[in-house]
């Protein structure tokens, strides 16, 4: 697998934090009181489609859910301006890790804003707790999956089934650590099966 390029120095996090803070200036205050331009059901339907595509491995179609002028902030990978920039980053990144799924934990809709607490998850190498992308398959335990980490995603709906803003909050060291540990166990199991 091609090496993931995460910049964990100081310049990228500062740039991402400044970009996010500037973008959210008009949204200060209680999100629950922000009136939406679009009906709640329309925002929910767009978000449902977002979840479906995020878990389908069709990242090109997922990128179509953003407006041409989307502003996308990922605090580990950077700031992407425009749908084409998001596509050039996301499609190859996710092609390198097709096993990754994003089952939702919970979400709220406040006006046109969706706050989504989700899991970034790889399958258990022993095949337990399948299907691993099913958000209802918890078996009453959060530790049913060995390889996952949480993420909070904020999206702003812009109409016509598209979003014009996304911001992702997660631990980059957790992401890389979980991914590398999963890859190591998968390789170990593969080597054990070949002997």
Residue 2 maps to a domain: no
Task: Give the sign of the dihedral formed by CA 150, CA 74, CA 116, CA 93.
Answer: negative
More confident residue, 142 or 193: 193
Residue 125 maps to a domain: yes
Indicate if the pLDDT at residue 137 is higher than 80: no
Indicate if the pLDDT at residue 189 is higher than 80: yes
Residue 74 maps to a domain: yes
Q: What is the mean pLDDT of the chain?
A: 82
pTM: 0.78
pLDDT of residue 107: 92
Residue 162 maps to a domain: yes
Could you tell me the residue range of the domain that residue 171 belongs to?
A: 11-24+34-194
Residue 100 maps to a domain: yes
pLDDT of residue 140: 46
pLDDT tens figures, 107-129: 999 999 999 999 898 888 888 77
Which distant-in-sequence residues (6+ apart) come within 8 Å of 114 by Cβ?
43, 47, 107, 108, 153, 154, 155, 156, 157
Q: What percentage of the chain exceeds 90 in pLDDT?
A: 48
pLDDT of residue 89: 96
Residue 3 maps to a domain: no
Counted domains in the chain: 1
Indicate if the pLDDT at residue 86 is higher than 50: yes
More confident residue, 20 or 170: 170
Q: What CATH number is associated with residue 155?
A: 3.10.450.50
pLDDT tens figures, 1-58: 445 555 445 455 555 545 554 554 455 555 555 568 899 999 999 999 999 999 999 9
């Amino acid at each position: 697998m091609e090496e993931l390029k995460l910049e964990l120095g100081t310049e990228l996090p500062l740039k991402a934090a400044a970009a996010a803070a500037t973008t959210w200036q008009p949204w200060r205050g209680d999100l629950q009181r922000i009136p939406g331009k679009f009906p709640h059901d329309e925002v929910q339907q767009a978000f449902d489609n977002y979840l479906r595509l995020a878990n389908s491995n069709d990242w090109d179609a997922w990128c179509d859910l953003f407006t041409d002028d989307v502003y996308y902030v990922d605090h580990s990978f950077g700031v992407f301006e425009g749908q084409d920039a998001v596509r050039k980053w996301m499609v190859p990144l996710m092609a390198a890790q097709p096993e990754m799924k994003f089952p939702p934990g919970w979400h709220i809709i406040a006006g046109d804003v969706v706050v989504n607490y989700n899991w970034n998850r790889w399958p258990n190498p022993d095949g337990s707790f399948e299907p691993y992308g099913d958000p209802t398959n918890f078996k009453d335990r959060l530790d049913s999956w060995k390889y996952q980490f949480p993420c909070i995603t904020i999206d702003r709906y812009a109409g016509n089934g598209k979003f014009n803003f996304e911001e992702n909050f997660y631990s980059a060291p957790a992401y890389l650590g979980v991914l590398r540990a999963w890859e190591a166990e998968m390789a170990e199991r593969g080597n054990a099966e070949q002997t």
